[in-house]
Structure 1
Amino acid sequence: MAKGIEIRDAHFPGRAPIDAYGNGGFRFADMSHRGSILCLPSGIHGWAPKIETALTAEDLALVFKEAADIEILLVGTGTELRRLPQALRDLLREHRISSDPMSTGAAVRTYNVLLAEDRAVAAALIAVD
């Protein structure tokens, strides 16, 4: 019996550099994704933070799940730099993760460099138009 279309969470099971960003999404590994993404040791995941201007620990739950394999979290905050809330920075520090918020473009470029250097890097990237 056919089920029809099955919708799954967006997930690319590998680490890959980001080839392009803009128009509300990202290109990587000969694929494209519309919306924001989390680049983690387990792969690249579709991501939808509840309020992009004020990230929470809940928004970064997958980051904390993989904290043992992450030293640096780059946070692409869109077109404008936004500081992370103090409580979130403290929680990241408790997990021994250094956080660095910056524009999404700068975060993509920095992520690609650190990934090429085989560093323990992750990125939370908010899509830009």
Structure 2
Amino acid sequence: MPTLPIQINGKTYRIACEDGQEEHLVRLGQYVDHRCRQLLSSVGHVHENLMFVMVSLLIADELSDVSAELHDLRKALGAGPDEDGDGPSARELAEEKLARVIERLTSRIEGIAEGLERT
């Protein structure tokens, strides 16, 4: 099991990962570091433990939003066609919602990528 040096907030941490997961771990570390720098730029210096708690909560909030969106999509895709045939089917509504979610996620990913490129 390899261990990699991951740098977050100017400090290096040696983190173990499964074989083949090295690139993924590096990307995750870069994302956490990026979020730490974003937080510090908006709130100023805070104790390192508090910073990690705050960043963890921000990332958990993002995960919660995505999880809720996924739940809503799964629920909508499981619904049957429109009962009276006048409006769009549940599947059409779900596809529209999926397109909006994909657009929001794409924007988030592009923002993260831009932030990582600046470092």
**TM-score interval w.r.t. the shorter chain?**
under 0.3
TM-score (structure 1 length as normaliser): 0.19
Q: Which has the larger radius of gyration?
A: 2
Report 1 or 2 for greater relative contact order, CA contacts < 8 Å, sequence distance ≥ 6. 1
Higher share in strand: 1
Which has more helix, going by share of residues?
A: 2
What TM-score, normalized to structure 2?
A: 0.20
